[in-house]
Structures are given as structure tokens and as C-alpha cells.
Amino acid sequence: MATDAGAIPAAAHSAAPPHPLVEFWRYFRQNKGALAGLGVIIFLGLVAIFADVLAPHPPAEQFRDALLRPPVWQDGGTWRFVLGTDDIGRDILSRLTHGARVSMAVGVFVIALGLLVGVVLGLTAGFFSGPVDIAIMRAMDTLLAMPALLLAIVVVAILGPGLFNAMLAVSVVVLPGFARLTRAAVLTELSKDYVTAARMTGARLPRLMFITVLPNCLAPLIVQATLGFSTAILDTAALGFLGLGAQPPTPEWGTMLSDALQFIQRAWWVVTLPGAAILLTVLAFNLMGDGLRDALDPKLKR
Amino acid sequence: MKTLSGLATLGVAVALGIASPAVAKTLVYCSEGSPEGFNPAFYTAGTTFDASGRTLYNRLTEFERGTTKVIPGLAESWSVSEDGTVYTFKLRKGVKWHGSKTFTAKRDFNADDVIFTFERAWKPEHPFHKVSAGKYPYFDDMGMPKLLKSIKKTDDYTVVFELNAPEAPFIANMAMDFASIQSAEYAEAMMKAGTPEKLDLEPIGTGPFYLVSYQKDAVIRYKAHPNYWGGKAKIDDLVFSITPDASVRWAKVKAGECHVMPYPNPADLEAMRKDPSINLMSQEGLNIGYWAFNTEKKPFDDKRVRQAMNYAVNKQAIIDAVYLGAGKLAKNPIPPTIWSYNDDVKDYPYDPAKAKELLAAAGLGSGFETDIWAMPVQRPYNPNAKRMAEMIQADLDKVGVKAKIVTYEWAEYLKRARAGEQQTILLGWTGDNGDPDNFLNVLLGCDAAKTSSSRWCFKPYDDLMQQARKTSDVNKRTELYKKAQVIFKEEAPWFTVAHSIQYKPVRKEVIDFKLHPFGGHLFYGVDIKE
């Protein structure tokens, strides 16, 4: 009896389609690169959250008795400064750790802002065809027409240098991607029966936009957001490198890189480590973004 | 077989044909930044003088290359009246001007050009005074408008300068870049053509090189002036390859893309010493790097705050980290190699507690917010201003002062600093005539206060300056300047950082390049091995 009772629900379970999240995970898991990316991102996220605990020293503290110390495995390195110090005696490990926080915050902020504004613009353009649609989309085309970094530099030049302004600038750069993507998804969804059905039952416009249609457009947006994360981090680092982003003593990776450039032939660790951090982070997000796309795109499903 | 050898001969001939124009000797100098413009009278930066005054123009007197000695330039000889107020210059004959597409000189250099040059900067009603920038900061900072009484020519090759008061360093001043002689004939032609600003944009000078082309932030090309009065330069082409990054400059020199570079990274000096193809020249620089407080702005109008800043910052740490040993602690605004250096002056020790006390006394016990301007380029007196600013920022933080680091593109930086937008600013000075007046008065006197970085005008100090200018007795002047240095230290308009040692890596194939005590780069007389 007991076995029978167990057998019937089990059979029913296997017949029912798996929960979408489970199905997603099954596809995502097959992509080893994406898994590695996810691992790195979780690690970086933890580092960013617990930077205060993990960093051995405050990021801006200058140990003036220990300038340009090499990392611990090289001659002259000590465990006090595991990854060495920069030219004014700041601990590189601590700065990288806190830099992770800055980079993650930049990514989250930029994507949140870009997504929010982009989705609203995209929905509006998709729902109201005609002049509204044309106005929004041509504005987005104008933004897309300019090279991303150049556009960011222009925005920073207007707002003035600084980390917050750099983040705003990069948000402007990622904005058109989200807007276009949302609009395209909305246009396909609008012709479907469930939307017509919702309309028939008297759903008003905001409900149609945000509750009926938007959830069905999310898959491409998630992929774009993940890939955009890496763009955001890279562009902010580039702005920092050009002296337009984070201002000293903020431990931002791009700024660290440009400040250390003159030591490239004498103290490799000051230049290489922030560069490696940027590389690793961007790579991780790109890999994960690819994996997400494979898992979420029905056309790519095997 | 025959055809083959014929071909080979042809090949040799072609090779020779290509080889012969390559005989033109080209010297490439990796300069550190773009010049602000090509008329040295408008500017004060050494970068600009390298690219304009020192290549394109001549002055009445010149500094001998590699020394501070004044030698005849466009003036063959001069005499001074008994009371030291009348200077008579006998001008050189047969000095040819450069030519360009728009202008060919019909006459040689003469007295009219000298008068044109000085009256343009001096007299506001002069038709060219307001052309282009319309500002003559060096001329004004030297107190020239007040000093000059009249400039007259007695014949085409004799000019008489009458001064209002005796001016001890006058002959040396005439050798400085701001006094570069412009062509009156060219000015007139351009005025007629309705494009007077071309005088400054497409420079015509008498100098050893003429300008061929300029691309901002990329390259300046010069060719040797074939009719130069001192004989044609030994090199045929001079190229300034503008390379703002010191590591890149060094990489270019190492690869042989450049022959000479200024301002190496202190971090790279070790490698330069070891490189067999490089001759690393060094000389104690005639310079001062300083951090100036804008005394017109609160809270730096209060002497106690300025002194507190002096106590708060650890100077030795800056020397170690930023200069990496290639600098000397500075306590006076003039370097120890200049006469009248006052060694008895006591520097402020590093004492944050004392700094806090002074801030509290000034009513700023809870600290305040300010800015630190850091220049975007390396200068001889400051190899890395941004790093220096970060160190100062960290030290100030310890006494409760929150500082923001600000920087602009170099020309913009200087322009804004002259307008007095800064609260505190990192800057420096390289002497250009070897006289203490050139530091103490040009940078800190009341004549300069309208545009100087500290905008400091202090009567007792300025009185000493004025007295010292009026006498040519060196002992008396030394006495006055020593006193001035004591006042300076007490009033503390600057935090004096360092006098740097200037290093210049020069490739071995360059012959007879000399370090200039004033930090400039002169290429007339330099040769290159093929």
C-alpha cells in the first residue's frame, strides 16, 4: 500500500513538465564555462560584501616604511603585504578587495539604472506605436551611433569627473540596448492570444504593460543585464584609467592601473594585479552571460 | 647571367638613390606635452619654451648652452650707463628671418623688430597688444611695465632702453624666452591681410629652426634654418614626438625611436644607468617644487592655517616615495645652488599635533574641506604630482582636513591657476636666469600676486624685493634676499617640497647634448652620429 501510494505521485511528477527554474538549471549546468563564471562572480560578490573583514589593512592607509614591496613569494616580500604594496605603501590586496566592492557596486548601479529606464522606454515605445515610438527609438539610435567610451567621456565631461558621474555616464551607454530589446520583445508578445485575452477581460494599460507582458520579455533582458555588467565594469575602469572616474584615494581598479603605469618595468605587481582583476571579472560575467543565453533562449534548446 | 648582374646593378643604384636623402640628419626628441602655443611671450611653461622660444626665436642676449653665462645674441654688444638705467644694445647685422608660404621677409632683422616686440607686450594701446591671448604674464610678473621708461632706436642697428630704476638682472632678463624677438614686418603684413593672429599661430623667427608642421598631442616638425646667423644647425630635421607618458618615452628611447627624453620616471633610472646604448646625464636642478596656498581664499588667508599645513605633511616621506631619492628637501623657495640661499632658515618639522593646535587656534579645530590641485604632467621639479597629492591628502586627513584632488589638462590647469580658482595647488618653478630675483620676486613679489599660485602680496617682503632690484651690489642683495627668505618661511604661503635632480637619458649616438641649468632643451649645436 505504502509503495503504491508512493508510486502514483512519482509517476505524475515525471509526466508533468519540470519547474522552469529546474529546467533552466539543467541546461545552464551543462555549460562548464558558465559555471566557472558563476563561481567567480559568487566569490567576487562575497569579497565585495565582506571587504572590511577580508582586507588586512584599510585600503587608503599608506605604510611609508614599505614602499613598493613585492608580493610574498618574491624576494623581499612579507606576509604582512601578501600581494605587495604600491609606490606610496598601500597594501595591494586590501585595495583589490575594496576595489571589488567598488566594481560590483558600479555594475549593480549601472545595470539597475539602465534596466529601469531602458525597460520603461522600451515598453512605452512598444505599446504606443507612432510618434512616441519613433521619438524614443530615434533617440536610442542616436546614442547607439556614438562609440560607447566616447559617449561616456562626453557625459563625464559635462557632469565633471567622479565615480558617481562615471556610473551615470555608463548607464547612458548601456541604456539603448535595454530599450531596444524590450521594445522588440513587446512587439512579438503583443500579437499573442493571452494579451488579447487580458485586454478582453478589461485589464488596463499599466497592468498590461508590467504584469501581463513584461514578465514574458524577461529572458533576453536577464542575458543582456549580465553581459552589460561586464561592459559597465570595463567602461568604468576605462574612465577611471583616463582620470575621469573614481577619484583618489578610492581603490578603483582602473584608477589603480593607470596610476601604477609608470612602474610597469620595475614593479610588475602594481600594474598586473589590478589588470588581472578586471580581466577575470569581465571574463566571468561574459561566460555566465553566454551560459544564460544558451539556457534561456528557446531556439538554442536541444 | 648578364641580365641578372644588370638587375643587380640597378638594384644597387636604386638602393643608393634611396639612401642619399636619408643622409638628412634627424633628431627626435620625445617631449612631455604639447606647447600652449608658439609665441613664448604669452606663456610661462618650459614645455612651451622648448617648442617655441628655444627653437624658433632669438633674443637680444642668450644663455650659453649648458651654462648660466649670458652671451651676445641678436645684440652683438651692449653698454650700461653709470647709474644703471640706460642700456644701449648694438644689434647684429645680416640676421635672416624664416620664410613661409604666406610671408617672405624683405629685410633683415633690425631695431624696429626689437621695439615692436617690447612695445607689443608693454603698451596696451599698441595695435598688437590685444591680438591672440593679449596677456603677457612673464613680462608682467617680471615687473617690466613699471620698469621700462622708453625704448628708442638711434639708428637701424642701435636700440636704447631707458629704465625707471636700476635693474640688476636686466641683461639676463633679456635672454629669457618671453623676450624672444618677433618680426615687425611680418606683423604688418598679417595686419594688412586681416589675419593678425597668424603672427602667433604661424611663427616666423630668426631661430636655428623653423616650424614645418604641428599636430596637437602628436608631433612638431622643424627644419634647420639654412640662413641662420650662427651657421646652419648640424642636424637637418628636428622632431618633437609628443609623448606624455614617461614609461612610453623611455620605451621609445630604448627602442631608438627617440634620441633624447626629458623627465624620466625615477623608477626607471636604475635601468637607464645599466643600458649600454644610453648616456644618463644628471645635474642638480635649478628648481623648486612647491604646494602653494591661495592666500586670497579662506581659510588660507590665515597665517596659522598655512603654518599648520606645513606641520601636517611629512616631507621626507614624499621625497622617498615620489622622487625616489632624486630630490633634495626644500626649505627655501630658491635652490641651494643659487647665491643668497639662506641655510639658517629652519624648516617646519613634521608634527601633526602642532598642526592640530594651530588649526584649533584658527578656529578650525573640527577641520575643513579643501582641494589640492595636482598637475597632469611630469615636471622637472615634480615627477608625479598626483601621487604627491595623494600623500598630502592622507596626511591632511590625519589632522581632520578633507582634501579633494583636482586636475585638468596642463594648459587649462595653468590658465585656471592664473585665474586663482585653486585653494591649494602643486606647482613648481625652474629658474631661467640664475638670479634669486627670478624666484623670490617673480613668484612671490606683489607684481606677481595677480597671477601667482599663492596670490600672496606681503608688504615687508615686497619692500625687500624692490630694494634688492635697485642695487647691483651683490653683498647687499644677498643680505636682503636672506632676510626675505626668513619672512617667507614665517608667513608660509607655500609648503616647499623639493629641489629635484634632473636626469636626462640621451642615446649614445647623440653628440654634444648639454643639460641646461634652467631645465630647457636646446638642440642647436647638437649633432648625431649616423
**Count of other CB atoms within 10 angstroms of residue B58:** 25
Mean pLDDT for A92-116 is 92
Residue B395 — pLDDT band, cuts 50, 70, 90? very high
Residues of B within 8 A of A263 (CB-CB) are 265, 267
**Closest Cα of chain B to A242: distance in Å?**
11
**Closest Cα of chain B to A208: distance in Å?**
49
B394:A261 CB<8 A: no
A248:B393 CB<8 A: yes
Residues of A within 8 A of B421 (CB-CB) are none
- DSSP, collapsed to helix, strand or coil, labels residue B267 as helix
DSSP symbol at A217: G
Give the model's pLDDT for residue B67.
80
Half-sphere exposure of B321 (CA within 13 A, CB side): 28
Share of chain A above pLDDT 70, in %: 93
Residue A277 falls inside a structural domain: yes
Nearest residue in chain A measured CA to CA from B393: A249
Cα distance between residue A13 and residue A50, in whole Å: 41
**Count of other CB atoms within 10 angstroms of residue B479:** 15
Mean pLDDT for A207-212 is 89
Residue A4 falls inside a structural domain: no
Q: Does B391 touch chain A (CB under 8 A)?
A: yes
- pLDDT of residue B12 exceeding 80, the answer is no
A262:B405 CB<8 A: no
Residue A11 falls inside a structural domain: no
**Closest Cα of chain A to B255: distance in Å?**
14
Residue A3 — pLDDT band, cuts 50, 70, 90? very low
| Host domain of residue A211 | 44-300
Residue A299 — pLDDT band, cuts 50, 70, 90? low
Q: Does B393 touch chain A (CB under 8 A)?
A: yes
Per-residue pLDDT of B450-466, as tens digits, reads 888 899 999 999 999 98
Share of chain A above pLDDT 90, in %: 37
**Closest Cα of chain B to A256: distance in Å?**
11
- pLDDT of residue A13 exceeding 70, the answer is no
Give the model's pLDDT for residue B5.
46
Residue A236 falls inside a structural domain: yes
Is the pTM for the entire model greater than 0.90?
Answer: no
Mean pLDDT for A241-261 is 84
Give the model's pLDDT for residue B13.
44
Mean pLDDT for A198-226 is 88
Per-residue pLDDT of B476-507, as tens digits, reads 989 999 999 999 999 999 999 999 888 899 99
- CB under 8 Å to B501, separation ≥6 — which residues? B282, B283, B284, B285, B326, B327, B328
Nearest residue in chain A measured CA to CA from B247: A262
Give the model's pLDDT for residue A15.
62
Give the model's pLDDT for residue A300.
58
Q: Does A264 touch chain B (CB under 8 A)?
A: yes
Please classify residue A91 by burial: count the beta carbons closer than 10 Å to its beta carbon, then call 0-12 exposed, 13-18 middle and 19+ buried: buried
> With contact defined as beta carbons under 8 Å apart, do B202 and B100 qualify?
yes
Lowest mean pLDDT among A79-88, A90-99, B19-28: B19-28
Residues of A within 8 A of B389 (CB-CB) are 248
Q: Does A259 touch chain B (CB under 8 A)?
A: yes
To test the contact with chain A by mutation, choose from B248, B315, B391 the residue with the greatest count of A C-beta atoms within 10 A, namely B391
Consecutive H or E run containing A290? helix A268-296
Give the model's pLDDT for residue B11.
46
Residue A150 falls inside a structural domain: yes
User: How is residue A200 written as a grid cell?
Assistant: 478582453
B386:A62 CB<8 A: no
The ipTM (two decimal places) reads 0.72
Of A41 and A76, the structure prediction assigns the larger pLDDT to A41
Q: Does B209 touch chain A (CB under 8 A)?
A: no
Report the CATH number at residue A201.
Answer: 1.10.3720.10
Taking all residues of chain A, what is their mean pLDDT, rounded to a whole number? 86
Total of domains in chain A: 1
Taking all residues of chain B, what is their mean pLDDT, rounded to a whole number? 88
Consecutive H or E run containing A258? helix A253-260
**Closest Cα of chain A to B408: distance in Å?**
10
Residue B293 — pLDDT band, cuts 50, 70, 90? very high
**Closest Cα of chain B to A272: distance in Å?**
15
Per-residue pLDDT of B179-225, as tens digits, reads 999 999 999 999 999 999 889 999 999 999 999 999 999 999 999 99
Q: Does B502 touch chain A (CB under 8 A)?
A: no
Give the model's pLDDT for residue B301.
92
Residue B2 — pLDDT band, cuts 50, 70, 90? very low
Residues of B within 8 A of A87 (CB-CB) are 267, 321-322, 387
Mean pLDDT for B38-57 is 91
Nearest residue, CB atoms, A265 vs list B271, B390, B404: B271
The amino acid occupying position A32 is: K
Distance between start and end Cα atoms, chain B: 36
Per-residue pLDDT of B225-268, as tens digits, reads 999 999 999 999 999 999 988 889 999 999 999 999 998 888 78
A262:B246 CB<8 A: yes
Q: Does B271 touch chain A (CB under 8 A)?
A: yes
Residue A212 falls inside a structural domain: yes
- pLDDT of residue B510 exceeding 90, the answer is yes
Give the model's pLDDT for residue A138.
94
Residue A250 falls inside a structural domain: yes
Mean pLDDT for B145-164 is 93
User: How is residue B468 written as a grid cell?
Assistant: 634688492
